Amino acid sequence: MKRIEATNDFVVKFANVNGSGSASANELFARSILRMGVPVSPRNIFPSNIQGLPTWYEVRVNETGYQGRRGGVDLVVAMNPQTWTQDVKEIDPGGYLFYDNSKPLPKSKFRDDVNAIGMPLTEICNATYTDPRQRQLFKNIIYVGALSALMEIDPNEIERLFSEQYKGKEALLQSNIKALRLGRDYAREHLACPIGLRVKRANSVGNKIFVDGNSATALGAVYGGATVCAWYPITPSSSLAEAFIGHCRKYRVDPATGKHRYAIIQGEDELASIGIAIGAGWNGARSFTATSGPGISLMQEFIGLAYFAEIPVVIVDVQRGGPSTGMPTRTQQSDLISCAYASHGDTRHVMLFPEDPTECFEFAAQAFDLAERLQTPVFVMTDLDIGMNTRLADPFQWDDTRAYDRGKVMTYADLEAGREFGRYLDVDGDGIPFRTYPGTHPARGAYFTRGTTKDRYARYSEAGPDYVDNMQRLQRKFDTAKTLVPKPLLRPADKPARFGAIFYGSTSPAMQEALDVLSARGIHVNALRVRGFPFQDEIADFVAAHPWIFVVEQNRDAQLKTLLVNEAKVNPSRLLSVLHYDGTPITARFIVDQISQHAAARTVVPLKRVVS
């Protein structure tokens, strides 16, 4: 039988039952490979459930550093009888199936073109442990031990990870090491070690860090000076708020008094959460909320108020599959339209699109500067794929000379000196007015904030010209935002290219890999990663410079393309959508297939080009 032979380049998928303690064992597997200097990118594929339903953990091992989901599986660790058939089916021909053979399974359950490796895990556990919970938990560690032997993973790295994890908990440390060795020894004695998938020590990890996007975003909020956070639990953003709580406990407690330099409220719903964040922003604190699509829908009225009343607030949208409850535990990039134009009335909002945990950290911190500079809501658009999976990323960086940009705030001294204050007065021509914090001056600078029309001095007005004047200034302000949001990044093709590609956010790792593959196949594509909205002129120029542009997105309705046409006024006939929206992260294979097909169909030079 054919056997896949691959060193430092394969995909392992663990099929488990959720609530069985498999998550930490699987992460241990991934981390041990990382410690051998080989990049890994794990992904959780989990149900909206607490216990008893199928869950998967897919680990891509790739020395080159490709971190997108590859597609296909080389080894399945089948620990869930419920999904056996589906799991076995997914294995690439010549791949491997590691399973528990404590109970014999009929031949029909297997595939002829897959190498089956049976190990009596349940039997071993039952013989070793009497406590049912231990039998369950250590089964996971035992299979990690067996895999280490089968794939030549250095067991010392795993034991070192144990000793870091169970520092000071000697009993736990020893019992885990025992289980690991149990599995390892059994495999070495009874199974053909190694199999064709092997890990070889390398030096491709460097100083990178292994972290999830939600934790990184939360840390960015700490570094960015957020003091007020209000949130409502919703997958996949809950772990962001919880990470913020954890970070604040570590880094935001006054050492002298033990008191907190932060306030976090778990709201009664998303309406209250955004309301609290807006109230705090109005009163001069840096505030944010973290949510997902359904939360954004609920917040619409408030977001419109914040836009019109010009209140800084940061909203992190960890996107998931919609509409409605959609696919709450799967990933998508499908909230672009609802965030870009959130609210009734005419609104436009600033959005940032981080590609990985490093940018989650950077953009989260920057979002607070932008929100206060522009006095408006700023959206940080991540998704489940970045948010809830650990990624190998560049280390976080912070320049200690960096000062927060608190925007245009008139102080007591300004007011006392007689400086003219009009809350909605465009003094600098950039559309951004000055504001005052409540309580600044006894006689000057107070104003009444409303969501209804006002004149430049914040006086109530229902006059049409005042409304138009204000709306035009808000548009000018949005133009100013163009100069402040992160610029798109160009990755030019190795050779002159007729095709361009635009992508953003979590598509990035799969896209980088796809571009390499395409280039090797002779399809050269200039690629532009959009990192912010409103779109800079470079984006329209990039579109204009190519006959065809692929817009790669993870949603059905080509939402970025819609925005490009609507906001950057690019020619829609040049834009070819590559859309992936089944809830799984987009793969390089998918992008390559789609672009190859499009490219093949467009080998002819368009008429327009010929005549012009």
**Residues in region 279-308 near other proteins by CB under 8 A:** 279-285, 287, 301-302, 305
Within 10 A of 103 (CB to CB), how many other CB atoms are there?
9
Nearer CB in complex with other proteins: 323/439: 439
Q: 3-state class of 536 per DSSP?
A: coil
Write down the least CB distance from residue 198 to other proteins, Å: 23
Q: Is 175 in the site for other proteins (CB under 8 A)?
A: no
Segment near other proteins (CB under 8 A); pick from 138-146, 154-162, 237-245, 255-263? 255-263
- List the 287-291 sheet strands across, edge first: 263-266, 228-231, 287-291, 313-319, 377-383, 350-352, 532-533
Write down the least CB distance from residue 423 to other proteins, Å: 10
- Interacting residues of 58 by C-beta distance below 8 A, sequence separation 6+: 11, 12, 13, 14, 42, 43, 45, 69, 73
CA dihedral 428, 433, 434, 438 (to 10 degrees): 180
Q: Of 181, 147, 146, 149, give the one whose Cα is nearest residue 162.
A: 181
Residues in the chain: 612
Choosing from 191, 193, 427, 446, the residue that interacts with other proteins (CB under 8 A) is 446
Q: Is 89 in the site for other proteins (CB under 8 A)?
A: no
- Residues 207-236 binding other proteins (CB under 8 A) are 207-211, 219, 222-223, 225, 227-228, 230
Write down the least CB distance from residue 392 to other proteins, Å: 10
Choosing from 132, 345, 439, 492, the residue that interacts with other proteins (CB under 8 A) is 439
Q: Please state whether beta strands 350-352 and 377-383 pair in parallel, antiparallel, or not at all (unpaired).
A: parallel
Query: What is the residue whose two structure tokens read 């470079």?
Result: 538
> Residue 118 pairs with which residues in a beta bridge?
99
- Residues 90-129 binding other proteins (CB under 8 A) are none
- Whether the link from the prior residue into 236 is cis, omega within 30° of 0, is yes
Choosing from 115, 148, 436, 584, the residue that interacts with other proteins (CB under 8 A) is 436
Nearer CB in complex with other proteins: 257/612: 257
Separation between Cα atoms, residue 518 and residue 496, nearest integer Å: 14
Write down the least CB distance from residue 248 to other proteins, Å: 10
Write down the least CB distance from residue 260 to other proteins, Å: 5
Separation between Cα atoms, residue 101 and residue 98, nearest integer Å: 9
- Residues 49-88 binding other proteins (CB under 8 A) are none
Q: What stretches of 203-341 show up as alpha helix (H) in DSSP?
A: 213-223, 238-251, 270-282, 293-309, 336-340
Q: Of 600, 487, 489, give the one whose Cα is nearest residue 534.
A: 487
Nearer CB in complex with other proteins: 105/264: 264
Choosing from 116, 191, 263, 425, the residue that interacts with other proteins (CB under 8 A) is 263
Separation between Cα atoms, residue 112 and residue 20, nearest integer Å: 30
Is residue 224 within 8 Å of residue 368, measured between CB atoms?
A: yes
Write down the least CB distance from residue 301 to other proteins, Å: 6
Q: Which pair of structure tokens corresponds to residue 270?
A: 């998303």
Q: Please state whether beta strands 575-579 and 525-529 pair in parallel, antiparallel, or not at all (unpaired).
A: unpaired
Crossing angle of helices 170-190 and 155-165, in 10° steps, is 160
Nearer CB in complex with other proteins: 122/411: 411
Nearer CB in complex with other proteins: 365/528: 365
Choosing from 1, 171, 443, 600, the residue that interacts with other proteins (CB under 8 A) is 443
Is residue 377 within 8 Å of residue 307, measured between CB atoms?
A: yes
Q: Is 182 in the site for other proteins (CB under 8 A)?
A: no
Choosing from 39, 71, 183, 275, the residue that interacts with other proteins (CB under 8 A) is 275
List the x/- string, 348-367, binding to other proteins by CB under 8 A: --------------------
Write down the least CB distance from residue 314 to other proteins, Å: 13
> Residue 13 pairs with which residues in a beta bridge?
58, 76
Q: Is 268 in the site for other proteins (CB under 8 A)?
A: yes
Q: Of 36, 5, 29, give the one whose Cα is nearest residue 204.
A: 36
- Residues 307-326 binding other proteins (CB under 8 A) are 309
CA dihedral 100, 105, 111, 117 (to 10 degrees): 30
Write down the least CB distance from residue 212 to other proteins, Å: 10
Nearer CB in complex with other proteins: 215/559: 215
Write down the least CB distance from residue 223 to other proteins, Å: 6
Is residue 316 within 8 Å of residue 365, measured between CB atoms?
A: no
Write down the least CB distance from residue 61 to other proteins, Å: 18
- Residues 383-422 binding other proteins (CB under 8 A) are 395-400, 402-404
Q: Is 276 in the site for other proteins (CB under 8 A)?
A: yes
Q: Is 457 in the site for other proteins (CB under 8 A)?
A: no
Write down the least CB distance from residue 239 to other proteins, Å: 15
Nearer CB in complex with other proteins: 222/493: 222
- Residues 503-562 binding other proteins (CB under 8 A) are none
Choosing from 345, 442, 547, 572, the residue that interacts with other proteins (CB under 8 A) is 442
Q: Please state whether beta strands 390-393 and 209-212 pair in parallel, antiparallel, or not at all (unpaired).
A: antiparallel
Is residue 534 within 8 Å of residue 481, measured between CB atoms?
A: yes
Q: Is 269 in the site for other proteins (CB under 8 A)?
A: yes
Segment near other proteins (CB under 8 A); pick from 115-123, 205-213, 513-521, 542-550? 205-213
Write down the least CB distance from residue 580 to other proteins, Å: 29
- Interacting residues of 208 by C-beta distance below 8 A, sequence separation 6+: 39, 392, 393, 394, 395
Q: Is 449 in the site for other proteins (CB under 8 A)?
A: yes
Query: What is the residue whose two structure tokens read 């089968």?
Result: 150
Write down the least CB distance from residue 438 to other proteins, Å: 3
Write down the least CB distance from residue 390 to other proteins, Å: 9
